[in-house]
């Protein structure tokens, strides 16, 4: 009987629970009926209770079951209500986001008074409030009126052009879908278009609802919310300092205890002056300015377009930089830890840079011209003129720069200095060697204008007169870099001109193995037997004078053997040539190198096998394959600068290094990137200095050394002669037209080409470039392979060296258009300097 009743009871409970499910579903759909449904549920529960009570004997278990159901339902309903409220108040709110703009403009015809420096003064408020209303009314009557929230005038500064410079924040609240409506250009255009200027008085000052505003001074930049909250009024982390007297240093010392915040120091100086900031020392964690950094702005608000300089690493040698006007903002982002900034700032009176130079005849340097404010960084805006007066019309002016070159301007803008020499325009560029710019007209006028987006490196040049009819001394050759080198040095296999102009159109040096003439230095101890009996390869460990064709041992002694590094034989007396040689040896996994691979030929390539190229890395940007790289150590990779040159590509957080991988998607290790170091002279137009280092966040696990291993760096003297066979590897496209990237790592064999051959294909290529390919073009690198290795062995079975980095080329796989690679041997000091400074070991 109990059992039968129990079964019936079970049946009715199932029915009830079905009913309950229906009503709960109703509740979740219509939140407003929650109470009614609850009421219904209670009634149903009471009915069931009454029904349950009908049997003469009450079953306590039965009541407990019902109670449990009720509690479950109530909890469920409460959860639904809370979720709905959360959705209404949090998620829906989040779908509207704040968009922040920092802006400034000059209000003319107003006299600045010192009280304006204090944002809480009544004078400030009576000036700022009407301006705030004007801006508000402009945007309230514009196409973005519904999105506009507020304007806050944060600062008023005096201005070198007169009037008052107004610095303000604007906030828009924008549903996600409408974000494009408040783009930087749109918001800026609204303000600009609201200024009415008269063509008649030809002034840039017009009227913004009655306010005299200089239309040329309007600048609006989108800004970060964190910058807004940390600088807008009420922030505890803003300091203001004023330099009223020129040349008086005001100390600036910051000891971070705030950690995790962005703090600002606003500097202003007397009208007519500019500000010089000197950073004496800065101690921060290097992180590409992601965690720690000091941004210096040429404005009073953190405006993206006004960044003067970014200090992303510690500074130990003082650096000074100057502003364009009398305002500057220091924006510190410091994480917890002992972070220290020491420095000072001062007001400088602007001076005209105009120089009259009387140049005497005769050899030797007559003086030095320097960039404005030298040795301070080059400002964003400057102008300087040098007028040379010569003693004879037969004389010209030779300007010898340390690390700078002038080239005729083409259709592009000058990025590192604009020069006008006798009405001809040149662009300046930084380079790692000296150049001589020769002006062959008498009494020339040289005008220089700063044209960099940020503060740039300073430069200097020694000047001398030279004989226009005979620029170089007797017995010398004029290089296209303007340098003069001894004629005997032409075609000697050494780049004496620094641009190889002394080494082009040279016939291959004859192999003078016998007789009295000496054998060309390129053939001596280059690892190849060039003379019968191999006498060119004997006594290679003997000491020689240090030059580009000798190997420098750790103790500074140079030996003749060019490829001494990691060749398995100790050649240096101190054995340093065999130190640090745990590299370039694919090891156990790769037993038979030329083993048959699946036949998938791509730009002449075939599938690689597991462990064959353990230094090969696949670099993924935002989850997509973008470039290749090579492993240099447990903490560093090397790649091409052009992979990271655009702003969005320079954020290390967006990159992942897939290591120890044969098939895409099966990496043995995926590493995060801490920092990207792009070569400071990288030239995006001609791909010169196309090299970058990537520091990993964490060392890759040593347990993976079977799959991941560094490649050896060549010695600066390393030579592989024309025709030497090397391998290029990567997951790049298999042809120019290809739309699908291969899954398996591809390898293709290519031959090193002479620089002359390379120039025959491409015209001028820099000494930092190297060509490799096959005449038919069949084997080549392509898009997606960039940054990856060109791996070479001195001899079969030897260690592999990173001879090149995939850089550029005309298309892919075209006949007589070889791949162009970054010549790694030219960058050994640069690589070592960066890796040593920032710690190879993590
Ligand atoms: C590229 O776009 C690229 N054929 C790389 C290498 C070559 C061409 C293009 C050489 O990344």
Q: List, for residues 622-637, the tens digit of each pLDDT value.
A: 999 999 999 999 999 9
Task: Catalogue the E-assigned strands of 127-272.
Answer: 148-158, 164-175, 195-196, 205-208, 211-223, 238-243, 250-255, 261-269
**For the residues 399-404, what does the mean pLDDT come to?**
96
Q: Inform me whether the pLDDT recorded for 451 exceeds 70.
A: yes
Q: Is 787 in the pocket of ligand 1 (CB under 6 A)?
A: no
Position 603 scores a pLDDT of 83
d(CA 102, CA 454): 19
Q: Inform me whether the pLDDT recorded for 511 exceeds 50.
A: yes
CB 128 within 8 A of CB 135: no
| Best probe residue, ligand 1, of 731, 732, 816 (max atoms within 8 Å of C-beta) | 732
Q: Is 819 in the pocket of ligand 1 (CB under 6 A)?
A: yes
**For the residues 265-291, what does the mean pLDDT come to?**
92
User: Which protein residue has the closest C-alpha to ligand 1 atom 1?
Assistant: 783
Position 587 scores a pLDDT of 76
Q: Inform me whether the pLDDT recorded for 353 exceeds 60.
A: yes
- 36 alpha carbon, distance to own chain's centre: 61
Q: Inform me whether the pLDDT recorded for 85 exceeds 80.
A: no
CA-based nearest residue to 822, from 751, 766, 744: 766
Position 6 scores a pLDDT of 31
Give the pLDDT band (50/70/90) at residue 647.
confident
- Other CB atoms closer than 10 Å to residue 308's CB: what's the count? 24
Tokens (6 digits) for 628: 């290749």
819 alpha carbon to ligand 1 midpoint, in Å?
7
> What tens digit of pLDDT does each residue of 156-166 get?
999 878 899 99
809 alpha carbon to ligand 1 midpoint, in Å?
5
Position 291 scores a pLDDT of 86
Give the pLDDT band (50/70/90) at residue 177.
low
Query: If you write DSSP's letter for every residue of 205-230 in order, what string do you get?
Result: EEEETTEEEEEEEEEEEEE-HHHHHH
Q: Is 783 in the pocket of ligand 1 (CB under 6 A)?
A: yes
Return the percentage of the chain with pLDDT > 70, whole number.
Answer: 87
Give the pLDDT band (50/70/90) at residue 808.
very high
Q: Is 112 in the pocket of ligand 1 (CB under 6 A)?
A: no
Pairing relation of β-strands 383-390 and 624-631?
unpaired
φ/ψ (deg, to 5) at 346: -155, 155
The mean pLDDT value of the chain amounts to: 86
Q: Which residues of 658-689 are buried (b: 16+ CB within 10 A; e: fewer)?
A: bbbbbebeebbbebebbbbbbbebbbeeebbb
CB 142 within 8 A of CB 289: no
733 alpha carbon to ligand 1 midpoint, in Å?
9
| Best probe residue, ligand 1, of 629, 771, 812 (max atoms within 8 Å of C-beta) | 812
**For the residues 511-518, what does the mean pLDDT come to?**
75
User: Which protein residue has the closest C-alpha to ligand 1 atom 2?
Assistant: 783
Position 680 scores a pLDDT of 94
Position 489 scores a pLDDT of 87
Q: Is 769 in the pocket of ligand 1 (CB under 6 A)?
A: no
Q: Inform me whether the pLDDT recorded for 594 exceeds 60.
A: no
Q: Is 771 in the pocket of ligand 1 (CB under 6 A)?
A: no
User: Which protein residue has the closest C-alpha to ligand 1 atom 4?
Assistant: 812
- Residue 500 to residues 211, 489, 494, 756, Cα–Cα distance (Å): 61, 11, 8, 10
Position 70 scores a pLDDT of 84
What are the residues whose beta carbons fall under 8 Å from the beta carbon of 692, sequence distance 6 or more?
638, 639, 640, 641, 643, 644, 676, 677, 678, 679, 682, 787
Beta bridge pairs of residue 773: 751
**For the residues 541-559, what does the mean pLDDT come to?**
91
CA-based nearest residue to 828, from 792, 806, 802, 793: 802
Q: Is 786 in the pocket of ligand 1 (CB under 6 A)?
A: yes
Position 12 scores a pLDDT of 34
Q: Inform me whether the pLDDT recorded for 94 exceeds 60.
A: no
**For the residues 67-87, what does the mean pLDDT come to?**
80
Q: Inform me whether the pLDDT recorded for 9 exceeds 80.
A: no
Ligand 1 atom closest to residue 812's alpha carbon, by position in its atom list: 4
Helix axes 184-193, 122-140, angle to 10 degrees: 100
Comparing 783 with 595, the larger pLDDT belongs to 783
CA-based nearest residue to 345, from 324, 376, 320, 325: 320
**For the residues 193-209, what does the mean pLDDT come to?**
84
Tokens (6 digits) for 743: 């899954």
Question: Which single residue is written with the structure tokens 């042809």?
Answer: 735
What are the residues whose beta carbons fall under 8 Å from the beta carbon of 130, sequence distance 6 or more?
211
Q: Is 822 in the pocket of ligand 1 (CB under 6 A)?
A: no
Q: Is 785 in the pocket of ligand 1 (CB under 6 A)?
A: yes
745 alpha carbon to ligand 1 midpoint, in Å?
16
Q: Is 773 in the pocket of ligand 1 (CB under 6 A)?
A: no
CB 787 within 8 A of CB 764: no
737 alpha carbon to ligand 1 midpoint, in Å?
13
Question: Which single residue is written with the structure tokens 């600048």?
Answer: 219
Give the pLDDT band (50/70/90) at residue 197.
confident
Query: If you write DSSP's letter for every residue of 517-574 in order, what string do you get?
Result: SPPPTTTTTSSS--SGGGGGGSSTTSEE--STTSEEPTTS-EES-TT-TTSSS--STT
What are the residues whose beta carbons fall under 8 Å from the beta carbon of 129, sequence distance 6 or more?
153
Ligand 1 atom closest to residue 784's alpha carbon, by position in its atom list: 11
Q: Inform me whether the pLDDT recorded for 56 exceeds 80.
A: no
d(CA 710, CA 781): 21
| Best probe residue, ligand 1, of 783, 784, 807, 814 (max atoms within 8 Å of C-beta) | 783
Ligand 1 atom closest to residue 813's alpha carbon, by position in its atom list: 4
> What tens digit of pLDDT does each residue of 745-783 get?
999 999 999 998 999 999 989 999 999 999 999 999 999
Comparing 7 with 357, the larger pLDDT belongs to 357
Q: Which residues are catalytic?
A: 642, 690, 786
Question: Which single residue is written with the structure tokens 């740039």?
Answer: 456
């Amino acid at each position: 009987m109990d059992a039968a009743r129990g079964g019936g009871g079970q049946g009715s409970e199932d029915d009830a629970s079905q009913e309950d499910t229906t009503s709960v579903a109703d509740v979740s759909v219509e939140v407003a009926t929650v109470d009614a449904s609850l009421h219904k549920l209670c009634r149903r529960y009471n009915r069931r209770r009454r029904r349950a009570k009908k049997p003469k004997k009450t079953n306590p278990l039965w009541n407990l079951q019902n109670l449990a159901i009720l509690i479950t339902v109530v909890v469920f309903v409460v959860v639904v209500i809370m979720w709905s409220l959360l959705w209404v108040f949090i998620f829906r709110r989040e779908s509207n986001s704040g968009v922040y703009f920092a802006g400034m403009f000059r209000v003319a015809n107003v006299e600045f008074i010192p009280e304006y420096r204090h944002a809480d003064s009544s004078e400030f408020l009576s000036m700022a409030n009407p301006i705030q209303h004007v801006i508000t009314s402009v945007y309230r009557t514009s196409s973005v009126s519904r999105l506009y929230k507020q304007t806050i005038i944060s600062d008023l500064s005096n201005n070198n052009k007169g009037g008052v410079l107004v610095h303000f924040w604007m906030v828009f609240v924008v549903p996600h879908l409408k974000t494009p409506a408040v783009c930087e250009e749109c918001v800026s255009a609204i303000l600009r278009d609201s200024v009415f200027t008269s063509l008649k008085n030809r002034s840039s000052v017009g009227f913004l609802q009655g306010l005299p505003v200089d239309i040329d001074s309007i600048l609006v930049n989108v800004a970060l919310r964190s910058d807004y909250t940390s600088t807008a009024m009420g922030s505890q982390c803003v300091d203001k300092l004023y330099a009223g007297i020129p040349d008086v240093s005001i100390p600036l010392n910051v000891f971070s205890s705030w950690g995790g915040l962005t703090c600002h120091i606003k500097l202003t100086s007397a009208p007519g002056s500019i500000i010089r900031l000197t950073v004496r020392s800065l101690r921060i964690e290097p992180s590409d300015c992601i965690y720690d950094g000091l941004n210096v702005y040429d404005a009073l608000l953190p405006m993206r377009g006004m960044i003067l300089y970014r200090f992303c690493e510690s500074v130990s040698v003082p650096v000074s930089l100057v502003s364009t006007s009398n305002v500057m903002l220091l924006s510190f982002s410091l994480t917890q830890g002992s972070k220290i900034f020491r420095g000072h700032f001062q007001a400088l009176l602007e001076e005209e840079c105009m120089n009259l130079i009387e140049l005497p005849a005769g050899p030797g340097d007559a003086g030095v011209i320097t960039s404005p404010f030298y040795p301070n960084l080059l400002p964003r805006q400057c102008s300087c003129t040098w007028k040379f007066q010569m003693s004879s019309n037969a004389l010209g002016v030779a300007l010898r720069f340390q690390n700078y070159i002038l080239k005729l301007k083409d259709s592009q803008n000058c990025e590192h200095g604009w020069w006008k020499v006798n009405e001809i325009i040149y662009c300046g560029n930084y380079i790692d060697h000296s150049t001589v710019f020769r002006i062959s007209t008498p009494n020339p006028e040289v005008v220089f204008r700063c044209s960099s987006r940020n503060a740039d490196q300073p430069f200097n040049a020694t000047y001398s007169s030279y004989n226009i009819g005979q620029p170089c001394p007797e017995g010398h050759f004029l290089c296209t870099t303007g340098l003069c080198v001894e004629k005997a040095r032409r075609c000697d296999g050494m780049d004496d001109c620094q641009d190889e102009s002394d080494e082009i159109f040279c016939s291959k040096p004859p192999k003078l193995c016998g007789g009295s003439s000496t054998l060309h230095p390129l053939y001596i101890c280059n690892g190849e037997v060039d003379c019968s009996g191999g006498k060119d390869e004997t006594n290679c460990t003997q000491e020689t004078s240090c030059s580009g064709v000798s190997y420098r041992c750790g103790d500074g002694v140079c030996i003749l053997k060019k490829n001494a590094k990691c060749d398995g034989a100790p050649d240096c007396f101190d054995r340093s040539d065999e130190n640090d040689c745990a590299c370039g040896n694919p090891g156990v996994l790769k037993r038979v190198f030329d083993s048959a691979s699946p036949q998938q030929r791509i730009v002449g390539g075939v599938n690689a096998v597991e462990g064959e190229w353990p230094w090969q890395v696949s670099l993924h940007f935002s989850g997509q394959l973008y470039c290749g790289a090579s492993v240099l150590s447990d903490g560093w990779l090397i790649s091409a600068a052009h992979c990271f040159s655009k702003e969005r590509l320079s954020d290390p957080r967006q990159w992942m290094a897939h290591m120890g991988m044969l098939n895409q998607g099966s990496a043995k290790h995926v590493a995060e990137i801490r920092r990207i170091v792009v070569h400071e002279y990288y030239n995006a137009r001609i791909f010169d200095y196309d090299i970058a280092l990537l520091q990993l966040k964490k060392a890759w696990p040593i347990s993976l050394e079977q799959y991941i291993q560094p490649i050896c760096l060549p010695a600066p003297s390393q030579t592989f002669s024309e025709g030497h066979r090397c391998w290029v590897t990567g997951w790049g496209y298999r042809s120019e037209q290809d739309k699908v990237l291969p899954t398996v790592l591809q390898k293709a064999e290519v031959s090193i080409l002479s620089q002359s051959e390379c120039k025959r294909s491409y015209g001028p290529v820099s000494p930092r470039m190297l060509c490799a390919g096959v005449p038919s073009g069949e084997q080549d690198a392509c898009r997606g392979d960039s940054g990856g290795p060109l791996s070479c062995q001195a001899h079969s079975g030897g260690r592999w060296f990173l001879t090149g980095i995939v850089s550029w080329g005309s298309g892919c796989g075209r006949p007589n258009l070889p791949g162009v690679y970054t010549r790694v041997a030219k960058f050994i000091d640069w690589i070592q300097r960066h890796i040593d400074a920032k710690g190879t070991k993590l």
